[in-house]
């Protein structure tokens, strides 16, 4: 058995991604490892309160992921990583030697994705393992 790494931010497409990841996990008998990533931009002073607020939010998102999985009678592992989402997913997937990375997609156009930095878009470039993109 191996691990399915899934990116999660409690949005609709992330919920869809987690559902799919759990399905795939069941099919392969793999663990499902949920990664909640956030990045604190250091530039801009008064970082502490902002960082603390983001950390709190990450905890809430983990809770939402656990609840969603419980609704499907599935158990998951969770991890909060302070890193840009795509980098965090690749790092965790490499560490766990995951079978697959699952992320949700908001259906942004390729141009828009490139301009504003879409996570699936970035993952395609940097991941060295299969990436499954789930539309919302």
| Interface positions with other proteins (CB under 8 A) | 1, 9-11, 22, 25-26, 29, 31-32, 38-59, 62, 66, 74-82, 92, 95, 116-117
81 forms beta bridges with 37
CA distance 97 to 80: 18
Q: b/e map of 97-129 (b: 16 or more CB within 10 Å)?
A: ebbbbbbbbeeeeeeebeeeebbbbbbeeebee
Shortest Å distance, C-beta 98 to other proteins = 13
Cβ proximity to other proteins: between 107 and 117 the closer is: 117
Nearer of residues 47 and 124 to other proteins, judged by Cβ = 47
- Please list the alpha-helical segments (H only) found in the chain: 12-28, 47-71, 85-96, 110-116, 119-126
The residue among 10 and 132 lying less far from other proteins, judged by its C-beta, is: 10
CA gap 59, 65 in Å, rounded: 10
**How near is the Cβ of 83 to other proteins at its closest, in Å?**
8
Question: Minimum distance between the CB of residue 74 and other proteins, rounded to whole angstroms?
Answer: 5
Residue number, 47 or 126, with CB nearest to other proteins: 47
Distance CA 59, CA 36 (A): 9
Min. distance of Cβ 52 from other proteins in angstroms?
Answer: 5
């Amino acid at each position: 058995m191996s691990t399915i790494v899934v990116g999660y931010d409690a949005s609709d497409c992330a919920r869809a991604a987690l559902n799919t990841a759990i399905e795939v996990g069941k099919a392969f008998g793999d663990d499902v490892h949920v990664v909640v990533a956030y990045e604190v931009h250091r530039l801009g002073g008064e970082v502490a309160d902002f960082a603390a607020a983001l950390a709190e939010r990450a905890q809430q998102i983990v809770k939402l992921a656990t609840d969603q999985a419980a609704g499907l009678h599935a158990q998951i592992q969770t991890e909060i990583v302070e890193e840009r989402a795509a980098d965090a997913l690749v790092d965790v997937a490499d560490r766990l030697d995951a079978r697959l990375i699952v992320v949700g997609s908001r259906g942004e156009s390729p141009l828009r994705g490139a301009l504003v930095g879409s996570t699936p878009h970035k993952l395609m470039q940097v991941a060295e393992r299969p990436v499954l993109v789930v539309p919302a």
